Amino acid sequence: VLATLTCVERWVCVNIIRLLREENTVPFMVRYRKDMINHMDADAVRDVQLVYEELGTLSKKTQSVIQTLKKDGVLTVELEQNLRSCRSADQLDHVYSPYKKGSKLTKARRAKALGLEDAASLLMNTPHTLDLRTWVKPGTEGLSSVEEVSTGVEHILADLIAKDPETLAYVKTLCENNFVTIQSSVSKSALKEKEQNSVQDHKKPGAKQNKKMDIDKFHLYVDFTSNIQRIQPHQ
């Protein structure tokens, strides 16, 4: 993994890790262990060191998350594989966030709780054997019709795709190599509410007026478009 992320030959990465574990400094490696590090300069070695340390931190965090999910009784083989396949803290948080205590139950988890995970699995592996009508349970919310069953299965499949490491890596590559924009605008309901508040402000100052002011704080994003490569952290 380190060799892939740093584009440094595997044998060089192995040597750098060994030298770091022996508590050798980067200047020492560059000056006295040139052959072992393939004559890399100090900056290049430090880049490898940084990625190595980040992977170490990620590994510890991943193990902690796995133990937490196991304790909560929600860890599955597939989920554990997805967690161990994460190559950054952001990826790990993306996969883990729906399972954090206090987080809202996602549509996919609601569908799984209704027992539709097997239906989703059939659709992916042997679609010709799936009959959504057999999953219908009249009177049960989420299963009362073929349409509700179909929607639940869609949510599970969307969740699987959104958390698949290969898919995440592919999307990241697409974003890095193509012109992708992010857009924001005010929802119709917010605009309608703002208009209503504007009329009522002089009659009922206070909460609604404050809410109007909250909306106005984001006036820059009422009709906002930006290249994702140029988006700023505060945005």
CATH assignment at residue 58: 1.10.10.650
Question: Mean pLDDT across the stretch 72-80?
Answer: 89
**Residue numbers of the domain that contains 168:** 104-178
Report yes or no on 138 lying in a domain: yes
Report yes or no on 50 lying in a domain: yes
Distances (CA, A) of 156 to 59, 105, 164, 171: 27, 13, 12, 19
pLDDT digits (tens, 9 = 90+) for 78-126: 899 989 988 888 889 888 887 887 666 789 889 999 999 999 999 999 9
- Could you give the CA distance from residue 217 to residue 205 in angstroms, rounded to a whole number? 18
| pLDDT at 214 > cutoff 80 | no
Report yes or no on 234 lying in a domain: no
Residues 152 and 194 in one domain: no
Domains identified in the chain, total number? 3
Q: Which residues pair with 181 in a beta bridge?
A: 227
Helices (H), 7-116: 10-21, 26-32, 42-72, 77-84, 89-96, 107-113
**pTM (predicted TM-score):** 0.56
Report yes or no on 96 lying in a domain: no
Residues 141 and 215 in one domain: no
Q: Could you tell me the two tokens for 52?
A: 């190595």
pLDDT digits (tens, 9 = 90+) for 6-44: 999 999 999 999 999 999 999 999 999 999 999 999 999
Report yes or no on 91 lying in a domain: no
Residues 3 and 20 in one domain: yes
Report yes or no on 35 lying in a domain: yes
